[in-house]
Amino acid sequence: MADKITFLGAGSTVFAKNVLGDVMLTSALQEFELALFDIDLERLKDSENMLNNLKATAGSGCVVKAYTDRKEALRGAKFVVNAIQVGGYDPCTITDFEIPKKYGLRQTIADTLGIGGIFRNLRTIPVMMEFARDMQEVCPDAWFLNYTNPMAVLTNAMITHGGIKTVGLCHSVQVCMPHLFDALGMEKDGVQTKIAGINHMAWLLEVTKDGVDLYPEIKRRALEKQKEKHHDMVRFELMHRFGYYVTESSEHNAEYHPYFIKKNYPELIDRFNIPLDEYPRRCVEQIERWKSMREELVGSKNLEHQRSHEYASYIFEAMVTNQPFKIGGNVMNTGLITNLPKEACVEVPCLVDASGVTPTYVGDLPPQLAALNRTNINTQLLTLEAAFTGKKEHIYHAALLDPHTAAELSIDDIVALCDDLIEAHGGWLPKFQ
């Protein structure tokens, strides 16, 4: 039987094209079956057709097979890729944005931390635990590559409670330095970086070229750039105040900290160019764009693909060939970052080869960076507590400790907001006591 890569959430057609298209272009992976699973059967069929077109143009030996039975899709898998979104844009994302607005709480992306992140976790974790149970039964040795947000909590849940070999993967580590250097007009070739922290709030700890520290020049150019409007003003401000550049975008980081989205200081939104309600706007655009894109992707017999910067195919290749490859991975903090809690999931450089994913030791982060990370970790760990005890009080705790929520609302309002969201989500959430 051929080795198998199973893609859960394969109806994410564009992302499936990137990850599985990359596999088709990797010589060491030509014997694999690409097993597709999604609960949206129309989108599943679209992805199957698209990948078969790609297989023909790439001349790939991979076999594409769509499944309507999840357990059968997983059976015997060597690798599992997760790209699901539970509850989608309508109704769940709309709920995550509109109900907090009634309390005067505004968000930008709401998929990682904050009220939106907490409730996205609570509706996704039960589904992930079903995946873990299936995998324990039919592919207990498979590696699980998690691409679904909220990354830190879901990866933590799969490892700690699911008992599955898991690594969480996010694009922000790969693109952090290139995007920064492009924005500042600096030359990227030959630049060495070291990045560590937590997902979406990992830090560019070192950035050098030929042994020379580039941070002084980066900061000089960034301060100059802050004099005019641009799309990375929050991160540049954080770097100016805390000394280091953070991996994830400004629209994300605006809601991970208590400093930027404040109803008593509405001028900050304009000053830092913060796109409120950005994620719903993107969702609507994507839904519209899919109508025209569908024909290009699904209907095109001449569909082509170039290997992307996504880590997945490089991880599979490294594990199959034993040729080491370095990634930024989300893993449990087994003493890797010494001033963050051991219960946390951290994002650190990892070596991948035939023995799996081996994270590297980082040591202490600068104290101000560890402190910022811990403000987010508090909410992450209490969200896990809520999910696995079924106790509503821990949902309140998670929300009460969220930096942005706590900076805007009173205790009573935070508790009432959580109650409203629990009610509005209805059957998308498990029952809490």
In a domain, 183, yes or no: no
In a domain, 202, yes or no: no
In a domain, 13, yes or no: yes
- In the chain, what are the helix, strand and coil shares in percent, each to the nearest 5? 50, 15, 35
* Residues forming a β-bridge with 146: 82, 168
DSSP annotation of 232:
T
Asked if pLDDT for residue 1 goes beyond 80, the answer is no
Q: pLDDT tens across 307-345, in order?
A: 999 999 999 999 999 999 999 999 999 999 999 999 999
121 annotated to a ligand binding site: no
Q: pLDDT tens across 114-170, in order?
A: 999 999 999 999 999 999 999 999 999 999 999 999 999 999 999 999 999 999 999
User: Rounded CA gap, 163 and 160, in Å?
Assistant: 6
Q: How many domains is the chain partitioned into structurally? A: 1
| pLDDT band at 411; cut points 50, 70, 90 | very high
Query: Left, alpha or beta for 327 (phi > 0: left; psi -120 to 50: alpha)?
Result: beta
200 annotated to a ligand binding site: yes
Q: Residue 164 belongs to what domain range?
A: 4-170+304-312
CA 172 to chain centre: 8
Q: What is the pLDDT of residue 127?
A: 98
**In 64-214, which ranges are continuous DSSP H helix?**
70-74, 94-102, 114-138, 151-160, 172-184
pTM: 0.98
- Amino acid letter, residue 414: I
Q: pLDDT tens across 5-59, in order?
A: 999 999 999 999 999 999 999 999 999 999 999 999 999 999 999 999 999 999 9
In a domain, 44, yes or no: yes
Decide if 202 contacts 347 (C-beta within 8 A): yes
170 annotated to a ligand binding site: yes
Of the residues 161, 171, 404, 425, which is catalytic? 171
* CATH assignment at residue 35: 3.40.50.720
In a domain, 106, yes or no: yes
In a domain, 251, yes or no: no
- Amino acid letter, residue 33: E
Q: pLDDT tens across 283-310, in order?
A: 999 999 998 899 889 989 999 999 999 9
* Residues forming a β-bridge with 327: 350
Q: Establish whether 230 is a catalytic residue.
A: no
Mean pLDDT for the chain?
97
Q: What is the pLDDT of residue 264?
A: 95
In a domain, 216, yes or no: no
H or E stretch at 306: none
Question: E-strand spans in 333-429?
Answer: 345-353, 356-359
Q: What is the pLDDT of residue 2?
A: 75
Q: What is the pLDDT of residue 427?
A: 98
Q: What is the pLDDT of residue 104?
A: 98
Q: How far is CA 254 from CA 55, 58, 222, 237, 418, in A?
A: 41, 42, 17, 10, 21
In a domain, 294, yes or no: no
Q: pLDDT tens across 171-216, in order?
A: 999 999 999 999 999 999 999 999 999 999 999 999 999 999 999 9
